[in-house]
Amino acid sequence: MTEEGRSTARGWAFAGPALAWTLVFFVVPMALVLAYSGFRRIGGSLETTLSLANYERALGTPVFRSALANSIEVGLLTVAVSVLVAYPAAYLLAYRVPARWGRLLLALAVLPFWTSYVVRSYSWLLVLAREGVVNRALLGLGVVQEPITLANTRTATVIGFVHFFTMLMTLTIYASLVQIPASYRKAARDLGASGWRTLVHVTLPLSVPGVVVGAFLTFVLAIGDYITPQILGGARELLLPQAIMLQVQRTGDFPMAAALSVVLLAVIAVAYVPAARRFSLVTR
């Protein structure tokens, strides 16, 4: 075997496990989901003749379109609020907090991830409930006379998401900020730029890749989440994951659930492609 051949074989040997993993746990399941989305559940039986009927229903029924729109809105709102919270936190951690305290704060930042996602959601429910911590505090301080409705609303869902995902975004932005050479900011200051101008014209543009990665991850996790809207949102509005679960849990209509899942995945792909193109998240 030539040196080039040995090198190629070595490459396949190293890549093999990852490729096999991807094939078994991503490609095959996705192919099954795609195939299922073309089937139809009619009564108790499965019609396996491929058709686009489920997609017509998914995209043609107002309530499903509304669920999709709600999901996108909640995802974008979560991203927007998370960026506003995460960026200052990441900035402080990267540039203002001494290194030894920074490590401690980073460790504290990931602490919430050590508890169950469901437990965290129910904890927020207790905080936001009519007789919860927030309402008790507001009533005690005389800010409100009657408990305000916080739990079982879209606001509650977004609050939960922001709490869960802000730290994820903080870490991706932090990773981006610490890679910016300190000399860039020093040069800007030497050339007379104020702290604010340095932030806006140097630090912020160079940290955008971290923001985009964090925003994309947050959007993906939020738009695909079923538990938080179910627990904190109170099903006051229908989101796409809930519509999917409705098909699975109540009627066993897996083909329709698969079609809705493919629609959800298509939305994520649409969000991914422009981000990947602009910030070279894919290798060419």
Partner 1 sequence: MRMRRIGIIVTAIALVGVACGGGGGGGGAGAPTELNALVWCDHTDPELLRPFEEANGVKVNVKDYEGTGVALGILEQSQPGDWDVFVVDSVDVPRVAQAGWLAPLDPNDFPWDDFFPEVRMPEMHYVDDTLYAVPEKFGYNTIAYNSEKVDPEDMRDLQSLWDPTYRGRIAVYDYYIPTMELVAIALGIEPSEITEDDLPAIADKLAELKEQAALTGDVVTTQTALATGEVDIIVGGGEYVTAVLESENPALDWVLPDQGGIRWQQAIGVVATSEKKDLATKFVQYIVSPEGQARLATSSCYWAMPANSKAPLSAEEKEILRWDEQPGFIANSDPYFIPDPELDRKMLDVWTEFLGG
Considering only 93-101, 136-144, 188-196, 228-236, which stretch makes contact with partner 1 by CB under 8 A? 228-236
Selected binder of partner 1 within 38, 160, 224, 255 (CB under 8 A):
224
Between the alpha carbon of residue 25 and those of residues 32, 62, 114, 215, the distances in Å are: 11, 33, 25, 25
Residue with tokens 């408990």, as numbered in its chain:
147
Contact positions with partner 1 (CB under 8 A) in 192-211: 209-210
Query: Counting contacts by CB under 8 A, is residue 181 touching partner 1?
Result: no
Collapsed DSSP state (helix, strand, coil) of residue 46: strand
Between the alpha carbon of residue 105 and those of residues 94, 109, 265, the distances in Å are: 11, 6, 35
Contacts for 33 with CB less than 8 Å, ≥ 6 apart: 258, 261, 262
E runs forming strands in the chain: 40-42, 45-47
Q: What are phi and psi of 47, to 5 degrees?
A: -90, 115
Question: Binding string to partner 1 for residues 146 to 165, with x set by CB under 8 A, is what?
Answer: ---x-xx-------------
Considering only 1-9, 64-72, 74-82, 188-196, which stretch makes contact with partner 1 by CB under 8 A? 64-72
Considering only 89-97, 98-106, 158-166, 214-222, which stretch makes contact with partner 1 by CB under 8 A? 214-222
Query: Counting contacts by CB under 8 A, is residue 29 touching partner 1?
Result: yes
Alpha carbon of residue 11 to chain centroid? 33
Between the alpha carbon of residue 156 and those of residues 66, 188, 230, the distances in Å are: 19, 42, 11
Residue with tokens 């195939």, as numbered in its chain:
35
Contacts for 79 with CB less than 8 Å, ≥ 6 apart: 215, 218, 219, 222
41 DSSP β-pair partners:
46
Query: Counting contacts by CB under 8 A, is residue 176 touching partner 1?
Result: yes
Considering only 84-92, 107-115, 193-201, 237-245, which stretch makes contact with partner 1 by CB under 8 A? 237-245
How many CB atoms sit inside 10 A of residue 59's CB?
Answer: 14
Query: Counting contacts by CB under 8 A, is residue 145 touching partner 1?
Result: no
Query: Counting contacts by CB under 8 A, is residue 67 touching partner 1?
Result: yes
Comparing CB distances to partner 1, the nearer of 178 and 193 is: 178
Selected binder of partner 1 within 1, 13, 63, 119 (CB under 8 A):
63
Cα 253 to Cα 258: distance, rounded to the nearest angstrom: 9
Question: Binding string to partner 1 for residues 91 to 130, with x set by CB under 8 A, is what?
Answer: -------------------------------x--xx--xx
Query: Counting contacts by CB under 8 A, is residue 255 touching partner 1?
Result: no
Selected binder of partner 1 within 42, 143, 144, 187 (CB under 8 A):
42
Contacts for 149 with CB less than 8 Å, ≥ 6 apart: 130
Query: Counting contacts by CB under 8 A, is residue 264 touching partner 1?
Result: yes
Considering only 85-93, 97-105, 107-115, 174-182, which stretch makes contact with partner 1 by CB under 8 A? 174-182
Where does this chain bind partner 1 (CB under 8 A)?
Answer: 25-26, 29-30, 33, 42-44, 61, 63-64, 66-67, 70, 122, 125-126, 129-132, 149, 151-152, 172, 175-176, 179, 209-210, 213, 216-217, 220-221, 224, 226, 230-231, 234-238, 242-243, 246-254, 261, 264-265, 268, 272, 276, 279-283
